[in-house]
Structures are given as C-alpha cells and as structure tokens.
Structure 1
Amino acid sequence: MSRPSPLDPLRSAPTGTLWWRHGKLSLLLLRAPLLAAGILLLALLMASVASLMLGSAGLGPWDAFKAAFGHGEFATVFVVQELRLPRLLAGIATGAAFSLAGCLMQTLAGNRLATPGIIGIDNGATAFAVASVVGMGISLAPPVMALSGAVIATALAFGLSGGIGTRGYRFLVAGIGVGALFGAGTQLMLARVSIDAANSAYPWTVGSLNARDADSLTWLGLALLIGVPIALWLGRGLNTLRFTDRVATGLGQPVSRVRLITLWLSVVLTAAAVAVAGPVGMVALVGPEIARYLSRHKGVPLLASALAGALVMVLADLAGRTLLSPLEIPVGIVMAVVGSPYLLWILLRSPR
C-alpha cells in the first residue's frame, strides 16, 4: 500500500477542514472561511474592474486595465490613473480598515453593536481631523489628529463606563454619549469658521473618497500592512474571548494582553481610515455581518471581514458616482441609506 504524499491533504482531516502537513510542519484550515474569503476576493476584483470602467467616461475592461498601468490613450490613462484608481485604492483600504476594526471591537466587547462608530471612536477622530483642516490653531496633519481624537474618545468611553471595561451595555452607552459630544464639537467648529473652511472640512463629516490626500492614504496603507498580520496572529486569542476569563486563561491565552492589543489595533485602524474617508461607520457593522454569514462558523472571520468591508465600500462609492451622475453622492450617505435597512434585516431575521 503506497503512502500518501506529505504535500497532499490528509484523508484523516476532520470534516469541513483542510489539513496540510510536510515533515514536522502542520496546518489545519477550515473550508468555510477559506471559501468565503475566496468568494469575497473574486467579488472585490470584479467590483474594482467595474469601478475603473464606469463613470461619465465609460471604458471597456481591457482599456481600463491597460490604463491602470499607464498604457493607452492619454485621456484614458488620465481618467483611470488620476481620478479613478486613487479613489478605488482609497475605497479598498478604508473599507478593509473600518470592517476589520469593527470585527475586532465586536469580538472584544462580545456585542455585535460595539463598533468604533457606535462607541464614539469615529466621531472623536473626525472632530480632531476637522480641527486640523479648518485651522483651529492646530497645525498637525489629519492622520495624527485623527489618531489623537480616537485615543481620547476611547479613553473617555472606558473612564465613563465605570470600570466595566469593554463588556456590557454600559460601555456602549458611554461610547454613544462620547460620540455625541464629539459630534456636537465638530458641528460647533464648522459653524464658527468661514464658508470656505467649512466646505474643505465637509467630506470628513459625511464620508467621501473624492480627492483624498495621498499622505493620509499612505499612512492607512502602513496601518493595514502592520495591522492585518497582527489581527490574524490574535485570531486564536480572540476565539477564546467568547469564554470566561478563567477558561481562556486555562487555555493558555493572556487575556489582558489580547484585549489591550485588540483595542488599540481597532483604534489605530479606525483613526487611519477616518483620516482618509471620514466617518463611514456603517461599514464596520455591515462588513463583519457579511463575513459571518458567508463563513458560517463560530470563529472570528478577520480576513473575510476585511475583504467584505473593502467590497462594500467600493460598491457604495461606485453607486454614489454613477447613479445620479453628474451629481455625486458621498459614500457615507450611500452607506447610511443602503446599509441601515440591510443591518435591520440581519438583526431581525429569524436565526437558522
């Protein structure tokens, strides 16, 4: 009887898994999350091509693909490389960051409503970013200011929750109050500056991918480059947070350290995304829900959440650009209109 190749999946692998082994190395993967990630990645590629093709100047798939790499007619290359491609990259990056941060925060709090937008991190980052744009005596760049606002909002939510930590509805209520406070501060700043300064800060109040700052997008890319591997590394520890602290500790997980890293990773990703697109918090709610539905397992779908968020953001921006062309609808408004009914359907549908 011939022995199976060490590069082939073992026949003894548990149902619904893929087990790869080579020598002393072994890797066990669940089929459902892998299939979900593959489906979302394929859908994201298709949406990206559509985003480069569609607009006031329609392009064919091959022309759009060539123009993305600088080949073709000058006008086509200009439209793709200068207008559509930066916007597409911003949509992918911000959607992935918002959705991954939402998945992390939901897991940390044990509540599907505990996203950075709900607990005030989005509004804190937005308020400080707007302060740097409208010239309130602060010269720091929007990414730095957004991170400062996100940190302060998180600290206030923790402090006002009275030692409850990230668990329970008291933390959510404190976060909602903090978010409302920072939202009011943003509106007050906009009311006290000139109309030109208010217009320049307007995209940060509703969420927009139009003419995003290249430096902010670079900072977001670095945050994702570092944050996604850290999130995947935290995966096993995040799975144990569903149990009590004693059980998680008994399984060998440093619960306090996992929670601390998860919290600040969510804060950094949210701040970097807000510095690019403004507060599009609905992505942090819808993205993880899509990932959980497709993955169909009880773990934490981190990679699928990032891909789902990127897909949702790209589609929302594409709809905002094309539905009422030449009038453009900011992506934040599209997400609020489309995402809210979808979220209600997700929350109210009967569990299977």
Structure 2
Amino acid sequence: MKTTSIKSTSMPFTHATRAALGGNDPVSPPQGYWRFAWRHQQGANSVLFEQRAVVVNLGLFGALLVASVIYLSLGSVKVAPTTVLKALVGNADMMATFVVQELRLPRLAAACFTGAAFALAGILMQTLARNRLATPGIIGIDNGATAFAVASIVGIGVSIAPPAMALAGATTAAVLTFGLAAGSGTQGYRFIVAGIGVGAVFGAVTQLLLARVAIDTANAAYPWTVGSLNARPSGALQLLMLGLALGLTTALALARSLTLLRFKDATASGLGVNVKRRRLEVLLLSVALTGLAVAVVGPVGMVGLIGPEIARSLSSSRGVPLLAATLAGALVMVLADLAGRTLLTPIEIPVGIVTAVVGGPWLLWILMRPQRSYT
C-alpha cells in the first residue's frame, strides 16, 4: 500500500493534481494497483493498494475463517457448523455452547496467535538474513526460549514465570548466535551454522533438566519440549495477543525498509535506510515474537518456515508479504492442531510433531532446489 498527499497550497495545479482533486483527467494507477483518492481542506490524498496482495490476504483470511469453523466443529463431541455459529453468539444449547466457547475457542485463539507470531517472526528473520532458512527455530531462538521456560517449570531456584523466562531465553540465544557468527553478521551460512549449534546446545540443556527431576515434574514440562496447545500458562495468551498486535503494527510500519533490506547494504543505505538501526529493530521484534509464542505453545519452529513460504508463493515479489505470512502461519497452526486432535482420536498428537512431519520434507525441498537470489 502506498499513500501520496497533494496540497493545493504548495504544488502547481498540474494534470496530476487536477486528477487527484477530482478533475476530468484521471490519473491511471501503476499496473497491478488500485488507486483510491479523496479530498480534504488541505488538498487531497490517494492510496495505492496492490491488487494481488489484497486478493491473497482476503483469500488467506477466508481460508482461516473456514478452518476455524471446522476446528470448532470437530472433536470427540461433534458440533454442526451452523450450531457452531449459533454457539459463538450464545444461541445454541448449553452443551454446544460450553464445548465451543469454553473448550475449543480458547485453544483456537492460541493456535491462531501463536502461528501468526511464529510466521511473522520467521519472515522478519529471513528478510534480515536474506536467507529462507534463517527462521527463529532453525537458528536456535526457539530452543533457547524453551530451555529457559522449562527451567522455570522444573524448579531450579528460579521463580520467574515461563513467559518472562522464554523471552530471556530467546534473547540469550540470539545474542550467542550473533556473537558466534562474528564478522559475518546475519548473512551467509556461518550465521545459520552458528544458530544450529546454539540450538543444539540449548536442546541438550533442556533434556538435561528433564533428566534430573522427578517423572511427574518432567511430564509437566514435556509439552514445552515438543510444542503443544494442550497446556497453556494463564496470562501468556493475553500477553501474546498484545505483543502480536504491537509487533504486526511495527512490522507494517517498517515494510518499506524491509523491502530495501533484501538488497545489498550499500543499495539500502543509498535509498535512505539506516541499515544498522533497522537490523537491530527487526531482530528485537523477531526475538520478542518468538519468545511470546514459545511461552504459550513451546517450540513449533517449522511454522516460521512454512508460513512465509506459502505467503511468498502466493504474493508478488514487489515487497515482503508480512500480512500474508502472518495469516498463513495462523492457518498452518490451526490445521496442524486440528489434525493432531482428530487423526488418532482419542490419542492427541502435539502440534509441534505434526508441523515437524510436514515441515521436514518442506525443508528438504528448499535445500534441494537450485540456489537462487533471495530477492
């Protein structure tokens, strides 16, 4: 989306201004865009919407709504889709309303917001590193957040709540990865290898913590190691919702800079981007989103890989598809958790295992494809 403003007091009344102010000579929008203009006392404004982006975002949002209704319908107690809609507004019978509103709707919200946060963090990190493999899960941020959260659960003298510990772990993993990458920054495979090594260390720490506690305590912390929506800490989802709202707003505000960051640093700087500052902002935003999501569901890193890939395959290459990736991540998480709940009923498969089964072949496909420029 691009916005232009025309002030009648500061610009000559040219062909373009006449059109923007409602004259007889319309201004044709660039190919592939819709243009909307309106007048006000100071002049006129116009907004450009990319047609493909609008269609893709609306399509993903519609698919997410359909998947959400199916999610609320299926389970050990099946509820008809029409009854689901009635239950959402409290017009269904007591049992259906309880199942939909009290049992399934909170879990659906957790799936949507965690999937959206993982995917948004993934596409931010990929853009920062100019590498499609540089998701928070692959470079160790997920494992760092998980290790710290598990430490707070199994009890090692730390009384900080899991969400705060997850944020601390994500930050620690990011700092270690950047430190080990040294002069290579966020580009190149040295950064990826350093992240994989940091993730492996934190994964080993998690297993060590679980091995040294009683079996009941280890079982309580187990969902954090594989990713599960079955046990959500109180308050963590509300914190994630707030963080995602702020994070998505910030990411959209940085959309132009993110588009330019896909090019070389010299090119981005020449086009007016403060590269170092933007890299730090994007990194902090990605780490915060990852930590908040891990605090709710545990490590489900493959969503940060699958969501952006779906968004890029559907969107044009003109910009970074932030909103499309966010919606795609939410859709992937909802479908994965639905499959985990229903495929082997009454056995429930953690959502992290489902996404790993799907994301593993996807990762191999990315690695086996001919290398090409990230941009």
Q: TM-score, normalised by structure 2?
A: 0.89
Summarize deviations over 1:142-168 as a string: whole Å, max 9, x none: 110000000110110111111322111
Instruction: Report deviation, 1:19.
Output: 1.7
Whole-angstrom CA distance in 1 between matches of 2:274 and 2:369:
36
Asked if the contact 1:157/1:171 (under 8 Å) is kept, the reply is yes
Aligned to 1:111: 131
Instruction: Report deviation, 1:348.
Output: 4.1
Aligned to 2:321: 301
Instruction: Report deviation, 1:351.
Output: 9.5
Aligned to 1:261: 281
Q: 2:98 aligns with which of 55, 78, 90?
A: 78
Asked if the contact 1:87/1:211 (under 8 Å) is kept, the reply is no
Aligned to 1:62: 82
Query: Is structure 2 residue 261 aligned with structure 1 residue 241?
Result: yes
Q: CA RMSD in A?
A: 1.9
Q: 2:38 aligns with which of 5, 8, 22?
A: 22
1:26–1:276: structure 2 CA closer, same or farther, 3 Å change rule? same
Asked if the contact 2:185/2:191 (under 8 Å) is kept, the reply is yes
Instruction: Report deviation, 1:69.
Output: 3.1
Whole-angstrom CA distance in 1 between matches of 2:148 and 2:219:
16
The one-letter code of the counterpart of 1:231 is A
Q: 1:102 aligns with which of 122, 126, 135?
A: 122
Between 1:77-86 and 1:316-325, the stretch displaced more is: 77-86
Whole-angstrom CA distance in 1 between matches of 2:355 and 2:85:
27
Whole-angstrom CA distance in 2 between matches of 1:188 and 1:6:
69
Instruction: Report deviation, 1:347.
Output: 5.1
Query: Is structure 2 residue 159 aligned with structure 1 residue 121?
Result: no
Q: 1:280 aligns with which of 291, 296, 300?
A: 300
Whole-angstrom CA distance in 2 between matches of 1:188 and 1:121:
18
The one-letter code of the counterpart of 1:18 is W
1:347–1:44: structure 2 CA closer, same or farther, 3 Å change rule? farther
1:129–1:85: structure 2 CA closer, same or farther, 3 Å change rule? same
Whole-angstrom CA distance in 2 between matches of 1:32 and 1:285:
22
Alignment of 1:97-176 (within 5 A): 97-176=117-196
Asked if the contact 2:19/2:27 (under 8 Å) is kept, the reply is no
1:315–1:6: structure 2 CA closer, same or farther, 3 Å change rule? farther
Q: TM-score, normalised by structure 1?
A: 0.95
1:6–1:60: structure 2 CA closer, same or farther, 3 Å change rule? farther
Instruction: Report deviation, 1:349.
Output: 5.4
Instruction: Report deviation, 1:342.
Output: 3.2
Percent identity for Structure 1 against Structure 2: 62
Q: 2:343 aligns with which of 304, 323, 328?
A: 323
Summarize deviations over 1:221-254 as a string: whole Å, max 9, x none: 0111110000001100011112222221221111
Asked if the contact 1:32/1:297 (under 8 Å) is kept, the reply is no
Instruction: Report deviation, 1:28.
Output: 1.7
Q: How many residues align?
A: 349
Instruction: Report deviation, 1:288.
Output: 0.1
SS at match of 2:263: coil
Asked if the contact 1:223/1:269 (under 8 Å) is kept, the reply is yes
Q: 1:43 aligns with which of 49, 55, 63?
A: 63
Whole-angstrom CA distance in 2 between matches of 1:116 and 1:62:
39
The one-letter code of the counterpart of 2:244 is L
Between 1:291-300 and 1:112-121, the stretch displaced more is: 291-300
Aligned to 2:221: 201
Asked if the contact 1:35/1:295 (under 8 Å) is kept, the reply is no
Aligned to 1:13: 29
The one-letter code of the counterpart of 1:99 is A
1:245–1:67: structure 2 CA closer, same or farther, 3 Å change rule? same
Q: 2:210 aligns with which of 177, 182, 190?
A: 190
The one-letter code of the counterpart of 1:170 is R
The one-letter code of the counterpart of 2:169 is G
The one-letter code of the counterpart of 2:101 is Q
Instruction: Report deviation, 1:5.
Output: 8.5
SS at match of 1:136: coil
Asked if the contact 1:121/1:154 (under 8 Å) is kept, the reply is yes
The one-letter code of the counterpart of 2:84 is A
The one-letter code of the counterpart of 1:40 is L
Whole-angstrom CA distance in 1 between matches of 2:209 and 2:344:
31
Q: Which runs of 5+ in 1 are unaligned?
A: none
The one-letter code of the counterpart of 1:148 is A
Q: Which has the higher contact order (CA 8 A, sep 6+)?
A: 1
The one-letter code of the counterpart of 2:33 is T
Higher CA-based Rg = 2
Instruction: Report deviation, 1:50.
Output: 0.3
The one-letter code of the counterpart of 2:348 is E
Summarize deviations over 1:36-91 as a string: whole Å, max 9, x none: 11110000000000000011111111211222233322221221122110110000
Summarize deviations over 1:189-220 as a string: whole Å, max 9, x none: 00000111101111100001113123010110
Large movers: runs of 4+ above 6 Å: 2-5
The one-letter code of the counterpart of 2:332 is V
